[in-house]
Amino acid sequence: MSINKKSNELCFSDDWPFVQVFMAVHNEMAIIEEKIESLLALDYPKDKIEFFIGSDNSSDGTNELLFAYAGKNPSIHITVYAERQGKPNLINQLVSKAKLTTKDDRIYLLTDASVILETNCLKALVKHFKNEEIFLVDANMKSTGLEKGGVAKSEGTYIKSEVRIKDMESRTWGKMIGPFGGCYTIRSSYYSEVPKNFLVDDFYITMKGYEKGGNAINELSAICYENVGFSSQEEFKRKARISAGNFQNLWNFKSLWFPPFTKLGFAFFSHKILRWLGPFFILFALLSLCWIVANSTTLLYTFLLLGLVSWLFLIPLLNYILQLLNLSLGLFKNITYFNSMNWALLAGFFKYINGINNNVWEPPKRK
């Protein structure tokens, strides 16, 4: 073991821990080959890493390609499921199988098919586990496909801001509020099985780790990439689904954020819960201004109402018209994206209220 003087972090030298990689896939033929190649290219001792990949009823040729890689590399273990399971259920089953290979404490790397890792990503994540207080380390997600239009640039801006916030949470409290889910590491002893109807598995796993008393951080040098060149409709569906899972976690882990006076409680409440409640604040402001304008002659409130209505409805309409003309205005696109995120949060809330029976997902279409 050595000490990195610049960052005062504990680092491994030759004694790297055993790592098991878990990935669930469903019809990922467009990206799976690049993903497997990035995993095999990781700068990590080859005798200390193995891969567990579950195919969730794929039907596009993904299975054949996975078995071709497994035939050439004995460290790759493939399990094909004939019925859809959903990512969290698939990962639970893969982890159960992996436990049969070694009973020692080890590090899990959970990653998505759409996320491509730089070669040093795994070492940058794993080096922190010499610190016994840390149970989870998240990677630095960078966005690609930003030139493809749609919501890509706005989503990329959002992801950058999230990375900055999580990095500051890590440095200040050691209480990063949830990984991105596409690429993160966790101690095997801290992994908790995700309930069959929970949608946001990475957040659930992190909160369960906090219940056990550990710390979670991110690592900016652990870089990975994900294409965010999705359509507005795809992004809305994805965020509505995540929103429903957020409200599940808000209620399930209420003891961790209320009252919000601890380090974890303050980070959870200020970073996540206030944002999840955003659409309700907007609706309250809209209804309040309508009532005030109807009962007041003060022009200021009329202007405020017109401004809010323009923000919520007129600007998105103008942005849509500009898109039809193959034109764009960054400010309009960002405002439209902000509104869409909040409407997706609201849609997710009603999905949560109506009940969530399973966590089967449909990956967004790759471009």
pLDDT along the chain (367 residues), means of 10: 40 79 93 95 95 93 94 94 90 90 84 95 96 96 71 81 93 92 95 91 95 95 84 84 94 94 94 96 97 93 96 95 90 93 96 86 61
CA–CA distance, 109 with 191 (Å, rounded to integer): 11
Of 281, 204, 186, 282, nearest to 244 (Cα)?
A: 204
Residue 322 corresponds to which tokens in the numbers above?
């500009």
Strands, DSSP E only, in the chain?
Answer: 2-4, 9-11, 19-25, 49-56, 76-81, 107-111, 115-117, 134-144, 183-187, 215-227
Dihedral sign (CA 289, 290, 295, 296): positive
How many whole angstroms separate alpha carbon 50 and alpha carbon 59? 25
Q: What is the CATH number of the domain that holds 169?
A: 3.90.550.10
Adjacent-strand bridge partners of 71: none
Question: How many angstroms separate the CA atoms of 18 and 188, rounded?
Answer: 10
CB-count exposure of residue 213 (10 Å: 0-12, 13-18, 19+): exposed
Is 59 exposed, middle or buried (CB count within 10 Å of its CB: 0-12, 13-18, 19+)?
A: exposed
CA-closest candidate to residue 39, choices 88, 62, 73: 73
Note whether residue 292 is domain-resident.
no
Q: Report if residue 322 sits inside a domain.
A: no
Minimal CA–CA distance to 363: which of 21, 77, 24?
Answer: 24
Residue 272 lies in a domain: no
- Coil, strand, or helix at residue 50? strand
Single-letter amino acid, residue 214: G
270 sits in which H/E element: none
pLDDT at residue 363 in the model: 65
Give Cα separations from 257 to 153, 181, 242 (angstroms). Answer: 32, 21, 19
pLDDT attached to residue 155: 81
Count of domains forming the chain: 1
Query: How many angstroms separate the CA atoms of 260 and 273, rounded?
Result: 11
Instruction: Return the axis-axis angle of helices 232-252 and 330-354, rounded to nearest 10°.
Output: 50
Within-domain flag for 139: yes
Question: How many Å apart are CA 20 and CA 186, to the nearest integer?
Answer: 10
Contact 287, 308 (CB under 8 A): no
Which tokens in the block code for residue 298? Answer: 């003060």
- The greatest distance separating any two alpha carbons of the chain, rounded to the nearest whole angstrom, comes to 77
Task: Supply the range of the domain harboring residue 130.
Answer: 2-227
The dihedral formed by the CA atoms of 311, 314, 315 and 319, expressed in degrees to the nearest 10: 160
